[in-house]
Amino acid sequence: MASAELIRKLEATIENIPDFPIPGIQFKDICPIFLQPKLYEEVIADLADFSRGKVDAVCGIESRGYLFGIAIAVALDVPFVLIRKAGKLPPPFISESYDLEYGSATIEMKTGHLQEGQRVLIHDDLLATGGTTEAAAKLVAKQGAIPKQFSFLIDLKDLNGQDRLKKFDADIYAVLKY
Ligand code: AMP
């Protein structure tokens, strides 16, 4: 669990950009965290503590899920597997499509990089509606691995993204809730 001090520092660092990229969205810009290496280290330590001893692999969702996901995997000494937007991975890979507010999106993952029965942490920077993370968990389950944990830097809790993840019976952690 993040200390009150870490939460205070992150709240002072993450920028809220109203009406970006479209009117009505409060965009959370996490980039200023990377200007403060010590703060970044504290975030990784907190996220790694949540998963230590509980997972065998980490999956990060493109692209901001990589910024913390790889460092979490290194801290835990477990493999990291990329979940990419459609069209970026060479074969062999599997795909999962999900609905957006308008239209749909597809994410992909290499086959053979996760092993059957592995307990997996799925990490992204931010949980909004949960559609992306739900699709990522389906990719993990399709390969016989177990979506065991979800972690985020930020949970926009009014959007109830956690409700879409309940079916996986996994632990969920967000450093910050807005
Ligand atoms: P969702 O599938 O609705 O949970 O959306 C999650 C993805 O969209 C994450 O990869 C976030 O990086 C991005 N995202 C959604 N809403 C925001 C927001 N308000 N600020 C920053 N990123 C967002």
pLDDT tens-digit readout, 72-126? 999 999 999 999 999 999 999 999 999 987 789 999 999 999 999 999 999 999 9
Question: 54-177 domain in CATH 3.40.50.2020?
Answer: yes
Q: How far apart are CA 81 and CA 66, in angstroms?
A: 9
Number of DSSP helices (H) and strands (E) in the chain, helices first: 5, 9
- Residues 58-68, mean pLDDT to the nearest whole number: 98
State residue 102's pLDDT score. 77
- Kindly report the backbone phi and psi dihedral angles of residue 30, in degrees, each rounded to the nearest multiple of 5, phi listed first: -90, -5
Q: What pTM did the predictor assign?
A: 0.97
Does the CB atom of residue 162 touch ligand 1 within 6 A? no
pLDDT tens sequence across 21-61: 999 999 999 999 999 999 999 999 999 999 999 999 999 99
State residue 76's pLDDT score. 98
Domains of the chain, residue spans: 54-177
Q: Which of 126, 164, 176, 177 to mutate to test the pocket of ligand 1 (most atoms within 8 A of CB)?
A: 126
Phi-psi region of 139 (alpha: psi -120 to 50; beta: other; left: phi over 0): alpha
Q: How many CB atoms lie within 10 A of CB 100?
A: 10
Going from the Cα of 162 to the center of ligand 1, the distance in angstroms, rounded, reads 13
Q: How far apart are CA 116 and CA 119, in angstroms?
A: 9
Start-to-end CA span in the chain (Å): 16
2 pLDDT higher than 80: yes
